[in-house]
Structure 1
Amino acid sequence: MTRTRLSALATTAALVASGGLLTATPAAAAVTCNSPLWKADYYANTTLTGTPKLTTCDSVISENYGLGDPAVTTLPKDNFGVRWTLTRDFGSGGPFAFTAEAQDGIRVSLDGVRKIDLWKNNSTTQKKTLNLTIPAGRHTLTVHYATWTGAANVKFGYAPITSATTDKVRPLTPAGFTVAYDKTLNKVTTRWTANKEMDLAGYRVYRRLTGTTAWAKVSGTALVTGGSYVNSPPPTGQAYAYEIRAVDKAGNESTGTVDLPVTSVDRTGPAAPTGLKAVENNLSGADLWWNATAGAVAYRVYIDGVLADTVTYPEYDLEGTSPGTTYTFTVRALDQAGNASAAATTTLKTTGDLVAPEPVTGVKATPREDGVLVEWTPNRETDIKLYQVLKAEWYDDGEGTVGWLAHPVTLLTEDATSFLHESEADGEHVLYGVIAIDRWNNSMDATDPAMNWAEVTELGTPAAE
């Protein structure tokens, strides 16, 4: 003979023996079973009337009482009954399967409406399966059981039907959705309240760029089974919206929660500059330019790894390069938040040399009423950039220091061959010379013995000393 032990009494009331039966004190009526536990009321009759002899909480309905009473002396051997009740939230509801079996009688009701009725004294176990749709929300299940004589057993179960061809009911939209953003870690923590559907498989977390309609699933291929999820949005300083959707075991997805906004911290630099070029110029320097970068407000220019300047336009001029030297130029774009782009790099090897141009020949100085006309033969070297006209005057400090003291008069372009030095016609005896300067700023020194000077006496009478 097989018997099952009853669940522990969910009451502090004492049970006392009375006439061969076990009866509960009035406090037994205070037994409360939290959903989804069943509240089981045991009766010493098959009409399930009067005061229950015992009240317990059961997680499942699956009892085999054998040929005796369920708790030795609690109930009579035959002709007793049990009522199980359960109220729970079914979420969005949907198709369910009810399975019932009993010896002897069993009845199952949903919200007071009978769905299964096998209420008779049987010598064998009778069974029935019923598929039905449970509406969304809270509902009460009631199972009545009675055994008259002989063996006694009862089972009842209810479970969602998760076939995708049968279940077309979406889960409810998750409630209690919140987001919290940690700018330091660039982490968005989403939280929500668990859904009530029994066939719930999990959740998906979606994100979209504000102003767009395209949602991106950011929770990966696996469903989220808890009530929270952490995501890192692109650190671009843009505004995003998040929402949560529930998914059941049939693959049905709920509508999205209310969209909650998050503006990410901007830690993403603009794109690297493109089209970077460096060329020599005619002033012994280098010119850099590149294409303007979208979102950039400035550019950092590095020369051989050292920051040279920050400019607001996509160009930079370097003055004073050395001939025959290789330079590495690097440019990074900066956005409004100060984020730097990846580097654009190019190199430039300067041409030229460190050799001064040959002495200028054919230097001639002609005095005129309006000054002295200086003429010379053009230097035929191809890298001439400028001519510098010098004037030398005799110097005597009266203490034994004497000599010609030269000073620059003017700079002229490479195509010049003469220059009128306007000066007072005071009969002074002076020297004029011309120096060629190449694009590398090489030039001979005025004291070089190879320097060609033209002597001239200005018109007029020398000033009295």
Structure 2
Amino acid sequence: MNSARGTAAVAVVLATAGTLLGSTAVTASAATTCASPVYKRQLFANTTFKGTPKKTACDTVIDESWSGAPASGLPKDNFGVRWTVTRDFGSGGPFALAASGLDGIRVYLDGTRRIDLWKNTTKTVSKTVNLTVPKGKHTLRVDYANWTGAAKVKFTYTPRTSAAVDKVKPLAPAGVSAVYQPDGEGTNTVVTWAANKEMDLAGYRLYRRLKGSSSWTEVASTAAGTRQAWDETPPTGQSYYYEVRAYDKAGNRSAGSEDQLVVSQDMTAPAAPVLTATAVEASNNLSWTAPVDAVSYRVFRKEASDAAYTRLADTTATGYTDTSAAYGDAYDYKVSALDAAKNARSSNVVRSTRTIVPPQNVTATVPSYGVVFSWTEAAGGDTADYDVYRSTSSPVETGYENLVDCRSRTTHTDASGAKVRTCVDYDGDQGTTYHYVMIRKNTAGRWSTGSAELTVTRPGDEVPPPPVTDLTAQPLEYGFKLDWDDSTATDLDHYSVYEYRSCCDPDYLGTVPAGTSEFVVGPEAAGGESHTYVVVPHDIYGNYPEYTGAGWDAPVSRVTATELDLRPTTVPENTAPCSLTTYTTLGDEGGMYIDCADSVATEAAGINVYRWDRATAAYIRVTDVPLAPTATHYTDTTVPHGTTVYYLLSVVAPDGSETFSNVDASVSLPSGA
């Protein structure tokens, strides 16, 4: 059966130079010539390639499978096929020659045999040879012999493109041409070049450099099949060189092509001048920066409500005083810078209004609590009021949204006799950079423009200190001793201690200064109850975790502990017509209030006070003689210190019998606490 690749046709020339072999087969008569890189294929009625070929054609690839005669006039066995091609390998480099066949196949490069699989076989044989092809033109020849049976042959030659293998640079592109094309608005340069011969070509890169400079800048890149690129040449009137470099799939880059010179037109305006305006009562004073190639300037003005500008003046100076502006009216100004070619560029637009002198010599200090401003009163001392504006961006807009409540305002006279005013911005975030501007109102009710902008950075941050670590609560007979590790926060100011309650907001218990890491909760009765305590660190910038009702808005440390249980183990039945309420004193005495029914005063013989003694597990009477039935309070001068004690009352009847009241606790601190 004939292969689809080998049919007779008119000879053609293929324009495929610079690429791998294509997939289209071209056939021809015996006089066929095949354009590189297409193979010329010759079919012989023998395996020794003797005599005149029976058929000649062109093949773009060598990949055949015949089950019979490969063409009319040839036998189905004992025939030979020879392919040859001569092509330009460019810079050459590492290639892989891969052949397989059933039966014999031989491959030659420039007449030197590189693959030899020449034998009759019933199995497909194959071999790949890696070699380096020198630069320039070389001839490949593939000989194939089929002795008996099915016929198969395949051959490829491909560049090896691994960066570890291929170290050969492509050839520099040739035939480079650069055409400069100004269009009145910009300047383009079109660069073209001839195709590179490399088979592993990845593409081209276009470079530009200023004449007199040695530094090249890449301005464009193309794929391997594109041989044209554009660049927007800077319209500066200067001369530029262009060159093209090829690069292959391994990343190797060629030398530069022959340099092409273009001279650009100067269509570049000077840099924009930076315009500023200072308003005083007599004029609007303009000043601007001078771009390098500017030779003159034009000054324009319009009222803020107008659409069109009026040309005020042409000047070579970098300043202008506008005395014709009406006092109190806002004007927009801009300045155009012109170069020698009359290219012009406009400045920014500034607005200015003739007005009173703004605050002068404004300074700021930044203690932890805010920003303290100081400024010198304008000559005449006619300030009726002043405002401060703050923004995180510059310039500062003097609008309501940027108005600062600058408080703690003072006025004093310095050593020179000048009036100095101060105020403090207590707001704003710590660690943030702010820009400030001040304006002043004179006694005529006119407001000034803004002072010179002042930039300050608040110290610190807005981050609460980290939670304390190793917080413990040691039960005491009169409360708890809380202890924790010293905070590592360098800006720590103090700690706040709270008792946390699940029912409601936490109770504030006290403050502990930085450097101290313990706190005694008490006096607190040791009645066996559980308590949860929270220690909240505060820094010098006012940052601390806050309780929001649903919890703290930042992590805090808490500890839960159970009180010592010093309650009496027995409690008499509460049958006395009296109630007892103890209170804690910070001295050396325990006090209580006695509240009895009216009948006690007329019917009882007296009232006794008992205190629970843990050592004997019994109530000890602390009144030597009963109190009067009308007693309303009692002080126990023998109360032990640094513990919780429990009292009850007995109402003594005339017959000496006793009835007992409720039990209540009293707590005393250690002596000297």
Work out whether the TM-score is over 0.5: yes
1:236 corresponds to which residue?
236
Partners of 2:2 and 2:247 in 1: CA distance? 41
2:254 corresponds to which residue?
254
**Counterparts of residues 99-118 of structure 1 (less than 5 Å):** 99-118=98-117
One-letter amino acid of the counterpart of residue 44, structure 1: A
2:194 corresponds to which residue?
193
Question: Aligned pairs, how many?
Answer: 333
2:203 corresponds to which residue?
202
How many angstroms does 1:347 deviate by? 3.7
Partners of 1:36 and 1:337 in 2: CA distance? 55
**Counterparts of residues 336-355 of structure 1 (less than 5 Å):** 336-350=340-354
One-letter amino acid of the counterpart of residue 208, structure 1: R
How many angstroms does 1:6 deviate by? 4.7
Partners of 2:223 and 2:263 in 1: CA distance? 25
Partners of 1:174 and 1:84 in 2: CA distance? 31
SS of alignment partner, residue 344 of structure 2? coil
**Counterparts of residues 129-140 of structure 1 (less than 5 Å):** 129-140=128-139
Partners of 1:30 and 1:140 in 2: CA distance? 20
One-letter amino acid of the counterpart of residue 292, structure 2: A
> Is residue 8–residue 29 contact of structure 2 (8 Å, CA) maintained in 1?
no
1:272 corresponds to which residue?
272
Partners of 2:202 and 2:42 in 1: CA distance? 34
2:296 corresponds to which residue?
298
SS of alignment partner, residue 115 of structure 2? strand
One-letter amino acid of the counterpart of residue 257, structure 1: S
> Is residue 275–residue 347 contact of structure 2 (8 Å, CA) maintained in 1?
no
1:334 corresponds to which residue?
338
Partners of 2:353 and 2:4 in 1: CA distance? 95
How many angstroms does 1:279 deviate by? 5.5
How many angstroms does 1:167 deviate by? 0.6
SS of alignment partner, residue 218 of structure 1? strand
> Is residue 95–residue 132 contact of structure 2 (8 Å, CA) maintained in 1?
yes
> Is residue 204–residue 223 contact of structure 1 (8 Å, CA) maintained in 2?
no
Partners of 1:224 and 1:310 in 2: CA distance? 55
How many angstroms does 1:11 deviate by? 4.4
Partners of 1:258 and 1:80 in 2: CA distance? 52
How many angstroms does 1:58 deviate by? 0.7
2:219 is the counterpart of 1:218:
yes
Deviation per residue, 1:240-276 (Å, 9 max, x gap): 2211111111111111112212233333322222363
**Counterparts of residues 170-181 of structure 1 (less than 5 Å):** 170-181=169-180
How many angstroms does 1:119 deviate by? 1.6
SS of alignment partner, residue 176 of structure 2? strand
Distance 1:6 1:225, change over 3 A: closer
1:147 corresponds to which residue?
146
Partners of 1:117 and 1:316 in 2: CA distance? 91
One-letter amino acid of the counterpart of residue 113, structure 2: R
Structure 1 vs Structure 2: percent identity of aligned residues?
A: 50
Question: Highest relative contact order (Cα 8 Å, sep 6+), 1 or 2?
Answer: 1
Deviation per residue, 1:209-252 (Å, 9 max, x gap): 222222222226x7464010112123333322211111111111
2:439 corresponds to which residue?
none
Distance 1:64 1:345, change over 3 A: closer
> Is residue 174–residue 258 contact of structure 2 (8 Å, CA) maintained in 1?
no
Taking structure 2 as the reference length, the TM-score comes to 0.47
Partners of 1:116 and 1:327 in 2: CA distance? 88
Distance 1:147 1:337, change over 3 A: same
Distance 1:224 1:34, change over 3 A: closer
> Is residue 297–residue 316 contact of structure 2 (8 Å, CA) maintained in 1?
yes
2:170 is the counterpart of 1:166:
no
Distance 1:223 1:189, change over 3 A: same
One-letter amino acid of the counterpart of residue 38, structure 1: Y
1:316 corresponds to which residue?
320
1:53 corresponds to which residue?
54
1:40 corresponds to which residue?
41
Partners of 2:83 and 2:349 in 1: CA distance? 79
Taking structure 1 as the reference length, the TM-score comes to 0.67
Partners of 2:6 and 2:339 in 1: CA distance? 69
Deviation per residue, 1:282-327 (Å, 9 max, x gap): xx66654433321101101112121122212223344545444443
**Counterparts of residues 79-98 of structure 1 (less than 5 Å):** 79-98=78-97
Distance 1:327 1:112, change over 3 A: same
> Is residue 241–residue 261 contact of structure 2 (8 Å, CA) maintained in 1?
yes
Distance 1:162 1:323, change over 3 A: closer
> Is residue 275–residue 286 contact of structure 2 (8 Å, CA) maintained in 1?
no
How many angstroms does 1:280 deviate by? 5.6
Partners of 1:135 and 1:118 in 2: CA distance? 25
Partners of 1:167 and 1:47 in 2: CA distance? 37
Partners of 1:62 and 1:323 in 2: CA distance? 93
